[in-house]
């Protein structure tokens, strides 16, 4: 008996081309922070908050930017200065920065001195209210406030940032520090001073001026006590990193040898 071979079918087998199921938040949550285990605060860029002035070059490069707005320099995000931004203060550092006048340097500070330095005792105030050293350079006092910018208080969404107050805005910094230091809560053993990040504050911008010109400055008022646990944990972690020295305020280098005055006015 002759058995005939069966011819192979010319029709290819059907392949399962269906796409995998859509990935959802639960999938990412199950491997939260994977790959980011070794990233510390030292490896992160801290956005600097600047108050935009009428002559700021950022007005030409950042979409929607206008004088009086608040600029997040890392994310190029602007906030309406009249409405302000909600801030959770985290830590404070005072510095003294030595600069050369515009056009005389590279744009980098000559030297940075910490809060314990006596450098100001070696200066003389000139007619422009700058503290001059004998070498002709001037020393600028910088009040650095590390904060959490609160974008969504209810859901605990915010991001670390730094705002530096100088020159005419130093009195605003002192007022803010006084508000925080004088805040009291009732504890089991009586009244106590809570951490800096116990209350939320609102920062708005206002137009100011003196004999040297006009600019936008800041006003800061206490808004309410912090209630969101996520924001509390975020602030505590940020504060701990600053205490450990993982984050320090670094003066911003600018072209032309003059400190960037966009954050403070004159």
Digit-coded pLDDT (tens) for 143-188: 999 999 999 999 999 999 999 999 999 999 999 999 999 999 999 9
- Residue 198 CA: distances (Å) to CA of 34, 159, 227, 258: 31, 16, 9, 36
pTM for the structure as a whole: 0.78
Domain presence at residue 204: yes
Domain presence at residue 32: no
Q: Which token pair is 72?
A: 């997040």
Domain presence at residue 221: yes
The total domain count for the chain is 1
Domain presence at residue 207: yes
Domain presence at residue 201: yes
Q: Is pLDDT at 105 greater than 80 in this prediction?
A: no
Domain presence at residue 222: yes
Pick from 83, 38, 86, 114: which is nearest to 235 by CA?
86
Q: Is pLDDT at 261 greater than 60 in this prediction?
A: no
Structural domain including 235 reads 42-93+144-263
Pick from 174, 172, 128: which is nearest to 264 by CA?
172
Domain presence at residue 150: yes
Confidence of residue 200 (pLDDT cuts 50, 70, 90): very high
Domain presence at residue 136: no
Tens digits of residue pLDDT in 57-103:
999 999 999 999 999 999 999 999 999 999 999 999 999 999 999 87
Q: What is the mean pLDDT of residues 214-227?
A: 96
């Amino acid at each position: 008996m002759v058995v005939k071979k069966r011819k192979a079918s010319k029709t290819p087998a059907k392949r399962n081309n269906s796409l995998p199921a859509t990935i959802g938040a639960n999938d990412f949550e199950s491997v939260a922070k994977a790959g980011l285990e070794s990233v510390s605060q030292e490896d992160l860029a801290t956005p600097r908050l600047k108050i935009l002035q009428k002559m700021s070059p950022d007005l030409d490069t950042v979409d929607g930017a206008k004088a009086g707005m608040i600029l997040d320099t890392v994310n190029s995000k602007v906030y309406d200065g009249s409405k302000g931004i909600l801030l959770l203060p985290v830590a404070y550092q005072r510095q003294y920065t030595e600069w050369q006048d515009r056009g005389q340097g590279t744009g980098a500070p000559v030297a940075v001195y910490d809060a314990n330095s006596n450098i100001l005792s070696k200066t003389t105030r000139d007619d422009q209210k700058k503290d001059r050293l004998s070498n002709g350079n001037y020393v600028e006092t910088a009040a650095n406030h590390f904060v959490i910018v609160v974008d969504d208080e209810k859901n605990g969404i915010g991001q670390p940032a730094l705002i530096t107050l100088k020159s005419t805005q130093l009195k605003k910094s002192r007022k803010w520090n006084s508000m925080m230091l004088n805040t009291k809560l009732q504890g089991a053993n009586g009244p106590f001073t809570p951490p800096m990040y116990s209350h939320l504050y609102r920062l708005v911008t206002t137009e100011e001026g003196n004999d040297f010109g006009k600019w936008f400055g800041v006003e800061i008022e206490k808004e309410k006590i912090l209630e969101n646990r996520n924001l509390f944990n975020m602030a505590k972690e940020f504060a701990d990193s600053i205490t450990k020295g993982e984050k320090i305020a670094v003066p911003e280098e600018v072209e032309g040898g003059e400190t960037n005055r966009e954050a403070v006015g004159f």
